[in-house]
């Protein structure tokens, strides 16, 4: 039985139930409570916190709703996953679901965090969304073709949207035809379909790490083994990639060549060519996640890996989520007909198709020029936000810090001097209203590292400067405390 009790913040706006649930959620997600551990009894928590049992019961119910714990008859409330959630549990989601949940090392800010500057999610800024122009597109397609768009369409996607996308300049280097595009429910479904189409349970998948944390959960859900390929400021470690490719029978290589999540960095042209050279004698398919490709505000456009792959074995996953709206849940996959066919079949089998109405509205919006107008102003805005961040980082962060200099996208990667712990820095900043994600979340093998991901998509340049000043002062404080703890005790 884990004797781990929350500390309530009486002044917090957060209801007691949420404070209690949040405490245990964080304890499970950070590994303080492990699969098989039991939460303290409802009665003991109620007594310790001086709250009613119903309050604690409700908190535990919320945790069990998300599959983190299960109430077992006679054995209390147990953290799920591993052996202990075996067949005698009254309720147990599949081991796979639990593993997938736990393998995504989410970061939960401390209780009572009041967000002043949100630098956590890669989410577009609501105030910049072209809502009005999208309303016009929806209304137009509904008026002109409503009935046709409110019945079933086709699994590969609405022909009009596929045509419009194939004609876009950004797709041009891929010499893409509408038939080589599959519309998906966001890039996330694109990733899922590629994994379904090219791998089977137990296969090894090479992934450049650090990486997008929701890819990690997806790999677990497909029972795939992640084989890490190291990356750094100079891009992919090509020697590591060569070793991985030669050693294990890798079934797929996952890369994010442009404005990578979490670092914001891009693989330069020479390295893109080297990667393809290295793969030339293999038949390993490449999944390139180009989720922010259209968000370039500096530098020259780079060829996609698909354009450089003479074997024709690269699949590109793209999305409207960052350059436009995530709420339309629309992305697409670009690949040769041969590679796309099994994915279209799987798309039909899993959710039939994406919404014809939304796809037609997006086609109208893109072909009328509204997307390009929006992207032009978004790129300019992002350039200003990144400029503010670069200046503020140079001004406020402690000696020994480094950071990426992205030429596009929302994300920026900060690496502190050795010994600075990203989780503690994120917690300290959250306590002062600045939300960021610690670097550990993006690498399954790492317990702690001195890195942070900053998303600049939802804060103004002034807010970014203010937030980075806070990060700098928190980092200084943590480093000072660390210095003191090294002092011999007789001083
Ligand atoms: C690298 C990466 N790929 C895919 C996605 C999923 O995007 P979508 O909203 O289009 O499903 C995200 C979302 O943040 C992402 O960061």
Tell me, in angstroms, the distance from the centre of ligand 1 to residue 443's CA.
Answer: 17
d(CA 359, CA 332): 11
State which residues of the chain have pLDDT below 70: 1-2, 81-96, 98-106, 170-175, 483-491
Tell me, in angstroms, the distance from the centre of ligand 1 to residue 324's CA.
Answer: 13
Q: Choose the residue to mutate in 104, 182, 186, 208 for probing ligand 1, maximizing ligand atoms within 8 Å of C-beta.
A: 186
Tell me, in angstroms, the distance from the centre of ligand 1 to residue 189's CA.
Answer: 9
CB contact set of 132 (below 8 Å; sequence gap of 6+): none
Exposed, middle or buried by CB within 10 Å (0-12, 13-18, 19+), for 230?
middle
DSSP symbol at 439: G
* Cβ atoms 120, 455 nearer than 8 A: yes
* CA-proximal residue: ligand 1, atom 7 (nearest): 187
d(CA 318, CA 343): 15
Cα 475 to the center of its chain, rounded Å = 25
d(CA 316, CA 198): 14
Exposed, middle or buried by CB within 10 Å (0-12, 13-18, 19+), for 143?
exposed
d(CA 343, CA 333): 9
Query: Which ligand 1 atom is the nearest neighbour of the CA of 122?
Result: 14
Query: Which ligand 1 atom is the nearest neighbour of the CA of 191?
Result: 4
Instruction: Give per-residue pLDDT as tens, 6-24.
Output: 888 878 778 888 889 888 8
* Cβ atoms 408, 379 nearer than 8 A: yes
Tell me, in angstroms, the distance from the centre of ligand 1 to residue 274's CA.
Answer: 26
pTM, two decimal places? 0.82
Tell me, in angstroms, the distance from the centre of ligand 1 to residue 195's CA.
Answer: 15
Conformation bin of residue 81: beta by default, left when phi > 0, alpha when psi is -120 to 50: left
* Residue whose entry in the numeric block shows the structure tokens 């014809």: 356
Ligand 1 contact via 185 beta carbon (within 6 Å): no
* Residue whose entry in the numeric block shows the structure tokens 């309050």: 55
What is the per-residue pLDDT for 91?
Answer: 52
């Amino acid at each position: 039985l884990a004797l781990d009790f929350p500390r309530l913040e009486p002044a917090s706006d957060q209801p007691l139930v949420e404070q209690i649930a949040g405490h245990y959620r964080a304890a499970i997600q950070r590994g303080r409570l492990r699969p098989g551990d039991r939460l303290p009894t409802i009665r003991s928590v109620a007594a310790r916190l001086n709250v009613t049992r119903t309050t604690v019961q409700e908190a535990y119910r919320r945790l069990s709703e998300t599959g983190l714990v299960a109430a077992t008859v006679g054995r209390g409330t147990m953290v799920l996953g591993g052996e202990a959630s075996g067949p005698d549990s009254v309720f147990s989601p599949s081991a796979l679901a639990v593993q997938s949940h736990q393998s995504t090392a989410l970061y939960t800010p401390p209780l009572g965090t009041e967000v002043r500057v949100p630098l956590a999610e890669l989410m577009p800024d609501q105030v910049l969304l072209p809502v009005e122009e999208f309303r016009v597109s929806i209304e137009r397609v509904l008026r002109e073709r409503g009935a046709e768009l409110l019945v079933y369409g086709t699994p590969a996607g609405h022909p009009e949207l596929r045509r419009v996308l194939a004609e876009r300049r950004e797709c041009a280097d891929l010499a893409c035809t509408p038939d080589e595009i599959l519309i998906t429910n966001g890039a996330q479904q694109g990733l899922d379909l590629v994994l379904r189409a090219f791998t089977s349970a137990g296969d090894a998948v090479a992934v450049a790490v650090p990486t997008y944390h929701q890819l990690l959960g997806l790999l677990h859900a497909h029972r795939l083994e992640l084989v890490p390929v190291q990356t750094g400021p100079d891009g992919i470690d090509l020697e590591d990639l060569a070793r991985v490719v030669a050693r294990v029978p890798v079934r797929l290589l996952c890369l994010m060549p442009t404005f990578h999540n979490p670092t914001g960095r891009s693989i330069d042209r020479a390295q893109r060519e080297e990667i393809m050279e290295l793969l030339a004698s293999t038949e390993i398919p490449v999944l390139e996640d180009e989720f922010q490709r259209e968000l370039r505000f500096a530098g020259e456009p780079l060829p996609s890996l698909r354009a450089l792959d003479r074997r024709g074995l690269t699949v590109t996953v793209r999305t409207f989520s960052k350059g436009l709206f995530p709420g339309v849940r629309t992305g697409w996959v670009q690949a040769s007909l041969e590679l796309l066919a099994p994915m279209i079949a799987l798309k039909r089998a899993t959710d039939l198709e994406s919404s014809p109405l939304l796809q037609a509205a997006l086609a109208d919006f893109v072909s009328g020029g509204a997307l390009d107008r929006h992207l032009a102003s978004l790129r300019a805005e992002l350039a200003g936000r990144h400029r503010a961040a670069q200046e503020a980082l140079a001004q406020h962060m402690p000696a020994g810090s480094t950071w990426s200099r992205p030429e596009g996208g929302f994300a920026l990667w900060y690496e502190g001097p050795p010994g600075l712990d990203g989780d503690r820095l994120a917690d300290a900043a959250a306590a002062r209203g600045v939300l960021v994600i610690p670097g550990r979340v993006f690498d399954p093998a790492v317990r702690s590292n001195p890195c942070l991901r900053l998303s600049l998509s939802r804060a103004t340049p002034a807010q970014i400067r203010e937030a980075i000043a806070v990060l700098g002062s928190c980092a200084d404080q943590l480093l000072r405390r660390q210095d003191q703890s090294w002092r011999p005790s007789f001083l």
